[in-house]
Amino acid sequence: MGMVGMYMGLLQVEYLTPVVGLGHPSLWIVSVIFGIAMGTLIGAFQGVLIAFLNIPSFIVTLGGLLVWRGAAFLVAGGRTIAPMDETFALLGGGSFGALGETGSWIFAVIACAFVVWAFVNGRKSRQKHGFALRPVWAETFVIGLICTVIIGATAIVNSYIWPKGNIEKYYASIGQELPECAKDNDTIYQGVCASFGHGFAYPVLIMIAVAIAMTILMTRTRFGRYVFAIGGNPEAAALSGINTRAMTVKIFALMGGLAGVAAIIGAARQNSATNAMGQLDELYVIAAAVVGGTSLAGGVGTIYGAIIGALILTSLQTGMVLIGFGDGSYQRIVIGVALVLAVWLDIVYRKRIK
Amino acid sequence: MVDRTGTPLVELRDISIAFGGIKAVDHVTVDLFPGEVVGLLGHNGAGKSTLIKCLSGAYQKDSGQILINGEEVEINDPRDARALNIETIYQTLALADNLDAASNLFLGRELVGKMGFVDESAMEAETRKIMGRLNPNFRKFNVPVNMLSGGQRQSVAIARAVYFNAKILIMDEPTAALGPHETQMVSELIQELKAQGIGIFLIEHDIHNVMKLCDRASVMKNGQLVGTVDVDKVTDEDILGMIILGKKPALAA
C-alpha cells in the first residue's frame, strides 16, 4: 500500500520541537515520540476514511498529501526551522551520529551470532516436524557468506575516517590536546588518528532495526499474514473471519508511524525542517518497493526487497552525482527509465519461470 | 436413513434478504439434521448461495431466525459462524491465491507458538497430515495456491473446512471444477462426514450427484422455496420439474 503521502506533512511535526525549549535533554525524546505518534494518528485517520467510508485508498492518500503539506506550510508560516536539538541531530548520522569503530565491531559480532542462532533455530524446528533438511555444509556456507558480508561492511564503514575538523572538535570537547597526527591531512590516517573511523551511522542502525522488526511482523505474526492475505484476496480474507476494516486502519497507522521515523531521520540529517523536505519522496518510495519486487496489485513483496530497491535507486542517483553525470534533470530521466526497465525485466523473468 | 425425530442441527426460519428492491431470498425455511445431506437446488440466481451466506456469515439476513440445536443464534460475520462450528466451502473457494496451502488452511486461525509468533512448521506439518488423508497425491506445499490445478485448490478449500471439526458444513458446488476422479473423492468424503454426524448443506447443479449424495432436496426459484422433498421418494424428473417449473410433485408430502 502506498500510504506515504502524509510523509511530508509529518515532517513538519518537527516544527513544534523548538517550542519546548532549547537544548533540553528530553527534547529529542519528546520530538521522536511525538513524530511517530503523529504519523500513526494521521495514518490511522486515513485508514478509517478508507475502511469505513469506502473511499478508495489512492484518493485518500492523494488528498492527504495535499492537505498535510498545506497544513505544514500553515504551521510554520512557510519558514525553515533550524537548527535542531543537538542530540536529535545525531539520529541523522554524521561523524558523531555513528557507532564508532569498536562499537561497530561489537555490532558485527552480535549480528553474526544472531544469524547463526536463526539458522540453528530454523533447522531445529524443521527437524522436529520431520521436513527435508538442507545439508549441513550448505547451511554452514550460507552462514559464512552472510557473516563475511557483515564483517566486510563493518570494515568498509570503519575505514571512513573522521574529517579533520571533527577530530579537532572532539578533542576540544574532552579538553585534551590534539594529537600531532591529526593536525595534518596526510598523517590523519596513521596510528591513533586512524581509530576515528565512522562505523555504522545511527540512521543505518535505525533502518536495520526497523527492517528486522518489520520482517518479523510481516512473516511471523498473524498481523503480517493477514496483510498478505488481504493483499491477495480481500474477499477471501474477510470470509476467513479476518476483520479487514480494523486491519486496514492498523496497516495505515503502521505506515504513518514508519513515515514518522523517516521524517525524524530526514529532519535530523538536514538539521532542519523545511517545507520542501521529502517532496517527491513518496514516489521514490513506491519506485523502490516496486524495483524490490513488491506487487502493486498486492499480496507480494518483502521488506529486504524494498530495501534493496531503495539501495539501487539511491546508488544510481548518488553515483550519477559523484561522476558528475548531467544535471538534476538527466538524473531524473535515468531514474525514471531504470524504474520502468526494472519492472519490465521482472515481468519477463516471471513469465520465464512459470 | 436419517433420524429426523430430534432437534434439527440447523433451522433457517422464514429468512428474507433483499438487495435494493430485489428479494433475493423471500421467506425461506429449511432445516438440517445431524448426519444429513440436504441439497439446495435451483436456477442460477434462485437465491441458494445468498441463503447459505446468511448461515456462513457473509451476508446478514433482513428478517427471520437462525437456530442451531434449537437455540436462536446471531451470525453477524464469518467469525460468528466459525465459532458455531459452521464451515463453508465457497463456490469461489475463497483462497488467498498468493499464499501457500498451509497459510490458506489456517487463515484467520493460525497456530501460534509460546511467543505469540506464527508457528509455520507446525502449520505445514498439520497441513501435510490432513492433505495426506484427503488428497494423497498433493505435494505442492510450498507454492502459492494460484500455481495449483483446480482440483488441488478445491482440496485445499475442503481441507480448510474439514480440519477444524465442523459440525455444520456448507458446500457451494464443491465438484464444479473437478475431474471425475476428484469428484468421486469428494463424494466419498461427504459419505464419511455424514457418518460422523456432520450436517451438510450441498449446493449442486448436477441432478445425478443430488440423487446420489443427498437425503433431502430443497428447491428454490426466484428467491422462494418451491419445496423440500425426500430424495428417495421422488424421481429426478420430479426434481427437475420443481427447478424448472417451480411445481411441487403431488406425491411428495
Q: What are the tens digits of pLDDT across the range A22-34?
A: 555 666 777 778 7
Task: Kindly determine whether residue B124 and residue A131, on different chains, have CB atoms separated by under 8 Å.
Answer: yes
Task: Kindly determine whether residue B108 and residue A238, on different chains, have CB atoms separated by under 8 Å.
Answer: no
**Average pLDDT, stretch B171-177?**
82
Task: Kindly determine whether residue B121 and residue A299, on different chains, have CB atoms separated by under 8 Å.
Answer: no
Rounded to the nearest integer, the mean pLDDT of chain B is 84
Answer yes or no: pTM beyond 0.90.
no
Chain B: residue whose CA lies nearest to A244: B108
Question: ipTM exceeding 0.90?
Answer: no
Task: Kindly determine whether residue A220 and residue B96, on different chains, have CB atoms separated by under 8 Å.
Answer: no
Query: Domain map of chain B by residue range?
Result: 1-85+166-253, 99-165
Chain B: residue whose CA lies nearest to A126: B121
Q: What are the tens digits of pLDDT across the range B206-219?
A: 888 888 888 888 88
List the CATH code of the domain at B1-85+166-253: 3.40.50.300
State phi, psi for A299 to the nearest 5 degrees: 90, -10
Query: Domain map of chain A by residue range?
Result: 280-354
| C-alpha to C-alpha distance for A206 and A213, rounded to whole angstroms | 10
Rounded to the nearest integer, the mean pLDDT of chain A is 77
Distance from the Cα of B170 to chain A's closest Cα (Å) equals 13
| C-alpha to C-alpha distance for A348 and B9, rounded to whole angstroms | 54
Nearest by CB to residue B98, choosing from A129, A241, A300, is A300
**What is the enclosing helix (H) or strand (E) of B18?**
strand B10-19
| C-alpha to C-alpha distance for A225 and B104, rounded to whole angstroms | 10
Q: For the ranges A134-138, A190-194, B149-153, which has the lowest average pLDDT?
A: A190-194
B139 touches chain A (CB under 8 A): no
Pairing type for strands B10-19 and B63-68 reads antiparallel
Q: For the ranges A10-14, A119-123, B56-60, B98-102, which has the lowest average pLDDT?
A: A10-14
> What pLDDT score was predicted for residue A354?
56
Chain A residues whose CB is inside 8 A of the B109 CB are: 240-241
A127 touches chain B (CB under 8 A): no
Distance from the Cα of A229 to chain B's closest Cα (Å) equals 6
3-state secondary structure of B15: strand
Of A251, A256, A346, the C-alpha closest to A294 is: A346
> What pLDDT score was predicted for residue B10?
87
A297 touches chain B (CB under 8 A): no
| In contact, B252 and B229? CB cutoff 8 Å | yes
Chain B residues whose CB is inside 8 A of the A297 CB are: none
The residues in A 319-338 lying below 8 A from B, measured between CB atoms, are none
Q: What are the tens digits of pLDDT across the range B100-109?
A: 888 888 888 8
3-state secondary structure of B118: strand
| C-alpha to C-alpha distance for B44 and B80, rounded to whole angstroms | 27
> What pLDDT score was predicted for residue A9?
42
Distance from the Cα of B117 to chain A's closest Cα (Å) equals 5
B109 touches chain A (CB under 8 A): yes
B82 touches chain A (CB under 8 A): yes
The 10 Å CB-count burial string (b at 16+, else e) for B209-238 is: bbbebbbbbbbbbebbbbbbbebeebeeeb
